[in-house]
Amino acid sequence: MPTKTKPAFWLSLASFVGVTVGAGIFALPYVGVRSGFLGLVVMFLILTPVVIVINLRLAEVVIGTKQRDRVPGYVRRSLGPRWERFSMGLSFLGFMGSNLAYLIIGGSFLALLVSPFVELSHTTALIVFFLVALPFALRGEKGIARVDLWLLLVFVAIAVVFLLIGLSRFTASYVNGFRPGGLAATYGVILFSLWALPAIPEVADLVQRRAGSVRRVIWISVALATVVSLVFAFAVMTVSGPATTEDALTGFVAATFRWLAPFAAIFGLIAIFTSYITQIITFAEMLEFDAKLKPATSYLVTLLGPLLLFAIGLNNFIDIIGVTGAVLLGIEGTLVLMVAERFHRHRHPTRPFRWTSALLVVFLLVGVAVELWTFFD
């Protein structure tokens, strides 16, 4: 890798990891208790390669297309305007669900952070979190990528501390189970926790569309997200066990040291802050480029939409993440695979059809059906 490309590579890596490791990681211990830690590991071993392949398929399209676009724009080029409108609607719902989850847990962590000094309601803390993140979102991806690079290092350091605390209070019975009946509950949450598909065009831009650099960023980021997620889930589950809470940190603090609350809150805010901002930037740019909205309108829709959903009563953190991950992101992954295969056949008409894409489409659609069945059952 040429020396001059190394800073851009690390910035893109930090930005992609910052999007990948976000709110979903805090739901993992809660659903992990239902599946057992071994069940969580099994599901990660299945879903990590799935996410990597889908990311690589989209990266192939992004790098091979001269005009800068987002997922709905690539859908239009390959599948037509009707599919583009469907993709836009899907992306809109997926973003709203995702950032609503970030707002909910961001408010929880901020309230936890200031709890030794002042008692804030969850709604007030959520609004404060939103206002603090706003100027960072308006700076653009390169500014937040530099923030990501430093916050990622702090995040990893605090994660190690959590692991050490967890090991000091290790309870084997909390993590040695395997409950197949709880595997379905982990599916959407894991998919959500590893998903950073809309950020791939930004990653490609940061490394000047060098195919090798983009592939390395994808492999390293998703693998690192998997390792960090499992380490975090193990540390929390081995301490909290059946008392694990939906946000993970509240139960962890209650089972360890009360004075740990502000540090746990800082850890949580670091994890979600960069992902929340980067998703705002990505979706606002998608509305600008693909929906042809004015920049101000794009940011207005992007910023206020999740707040309105919270105001009407959508506030169940686990359900929002599970449905968003399994249904909305699963269908988005299906569209990306369809686009990638159409693109591949157009550029390489003599090469055989890649059956892995067809198998992944079936896998994702089964996941959608199972999630909807369990949610409405």
Q: What is the pLDDT of residues 158-210, one digit of tens each?
A: 777 777 877 777 777 788 888 988 899 999 999 999 998 877 887 777 776 77
H helix runs in 169-260, sequence order: 183-194, 200-206, 211-240, 249-255
Question: Where along the chain do its domains lie?
Answer: 3-46+99-318
C-alpha span between 132 and 143 (Å, rounded): 15
User: Number of helices (H) and strands (E), helices first, in the chain?
Assistant: 16, 0
Residue 56: HSE in the Cβ half-sphere, 13 Å Cα cutoff: 14
Q: Could you tell me the mean pLDDT of each successive run of 10 residues in the chain, 377 residues long?
A: 59 74 90 93 96 92 80 85 89 90 92 83 91 81 54 72 77 84 92 87 74 83 90 89 88 81 84 80 79 86 91 90 93 92 76 80 94 84
Residue 369: count of CB within 10 angstroms of its CB: 13
CB 158 within 8 A of CB 267: yes
Q: CA-based diameter of the chain, in Å?
A: 67
- Output phi, psi for 82, to 5 deg: -65, -45
pTM for this model (two decimals): 0.87
Q: Is 268 exposed, middle or buried (0-12, 13-18, 19+ CB in 10 A)?
A: buried
Candidates 3.80.30.20, 1.20.1740.10, 2.60.40.10, 3.40.630.10; CATH matching 3-46+99-318: 1.20.1740.10
- Output phi, psi for 347, to 5 deg: -85, -30
Residue type, 45: L
